[in-house]
Amino acid sequence: MSRRAHVFVAGNVQGVFYRATTRDEARDRNVAGWVRNLSDGRVEAVFEGPESKVQEMVEWCHEGSPAATVEDVTVTYEPPEGLESFDIKR
């Protein structure tokens, strides 16, 4: 079953390779979606794919890249949109 998670991550998550590591982790799991920095210092991401793999990515967001300090993760689940790749949005 396919699932879509829309995630907002707060903390020291910009300038610490959070987006690049998120992309690599998602691609390793064959999860589609995107990740981007927000002007308020948070990172926003969308993950689409098999329910178990999407849940793994949501759980991964609580740790993030080795240099990140994650303070809060907010997740909402939405209907999948059929994304096919994982990209970093600018």
Q: Name the residues annotated as catalytic.
A: 19, 37
Render 42-75 in DSSP notation, one character per residue: -EEEEEEEEHHHHHHHHHHHTT-STT-EEEEEEE
Q: Report the distance separating Cα 9 and Cα 74, nearest Å.
A: 7
